[in-house]
Amino acid sequence: MELRHLRYFVVVAEEGHFTRVAERLGMQQPPLSQQIRALEQMLGFDLFRRHPKGAALTAGGEAFLQEARTILENVDAAVARAGRAHSGSVGSLSVGFTSSAAAHPFIPQVMRAYREAWPEVMLEFREGNAAELTEALVKEQLDVAFLRRPVNMPDELAFECLLEEELLLVLPVGHPTLPRKSGRRRPAVPLSALCDERFILVRRSGAPGMYANLVEACVQAGFVPNIAIEVERMLTNISLVAAGAGVSAVPASMQGFHSENVVYCSIKDAPATLAAPLTLAFREAVQQPTLMHFIDLARKTAA
């Protein structure tokens, strides 16, 4: 039994006349009658009572008509769903992000634009550090992730730097290196002024690039920093600085957190390596339509 048998049957049942249906379908009447006869032979009973004025459904035909319509509707719906999935209009997408990346206004901007463009795609979110997100991508537990500097760069993953922003020092309010009056300008502090401070950083394993770059910049400034506290998430850095536990450095997009208790400062004469990138990571070989739409949107938004 083929779908054409069902389609022919439904049209004849609705029209009640073989000749008119044949004309409607652009075919001869004998081949149409043969197709209906073949269907009746498969079923083992007559679907129509033929008479000079046309054809009327038998009791079996009446029952089969409902089932045939349901089958054809399901097939049409399946074709539509498959087409939408092929175009990336439906499906799912898992997105990961580090806490510092999520603080950048770019991330909610992309998410909102994607939801508006493809509202039927189900988005799943996962937070983690750069190492955790990279591993999740490799294990195919995530489709795409926003992070800062990659921890490592497995061959199967692609890493695209979308944006770069300034890295700022975070000092507690009233810190002695802060100028007494800075007006509306962001104060600038040299790293060398912090040689005796306790630094609070995200663990090297979670953000090795930014960790190593800050340490190297301190060495270039003439001292080895005292890494007193290592935390899992960058937002915790700021909370601990606000509590007076030490000083830290975060991407500029994170300024504003605990602003009543901390001061965000530019790094005077900062080396270029202290820029904080925003990186998009994904499996390079994957051509999943929902993912390709997301990558394209992220690139256009960044541009």
Architecture of domain 3-87: Orthogonal Bundle (1.10)
* CATH 3.40.190.10 domain residues, the chain: 91-161+286-302, 167-274
Residue 85 has pLDDT above 80, yes or no: no
Which among 154, 144, 155, 186 is positioned nearest to 169, based on CA atoms? 186
Lowest mean pLDDT among 53-62, 79-88, 149-158: 79-88
pTM above 0.85, yes or no: no
Is residue 194 within 8 A of residue 228, CB to CB? The reply is no
Residue 183 has pLDDT above 70, yes or no: no
3-class DSSP state for residue 182? coil
- Domain 91-161+286-302: CATH superfamily is Periplasmic binding protein-like II (3.40.190.10)
Q: Rounded to an integer, what distance in angstroms lies between the CA atom of residue 213 and that of residue 250?
A: 12
Percent of the chain at pLDDT exceeding 70: 95
The whole-number pLDDT of residue 207 equals 63
Average pLDDT, rounded, for the chain: 86
Q: Which residue has the higher pLDDT, 219 or 72?
A: 219
| CATH code of the domain made up of 167-274 | 3.40.190.10
DSSP string, 220-275: HTT---EEEEEESSHHHHHHHHHTTS-BEEEEGGGTTTTTTTEEEEEETT--GGG-
The whole-number pLDDT of residue 294 equals 94
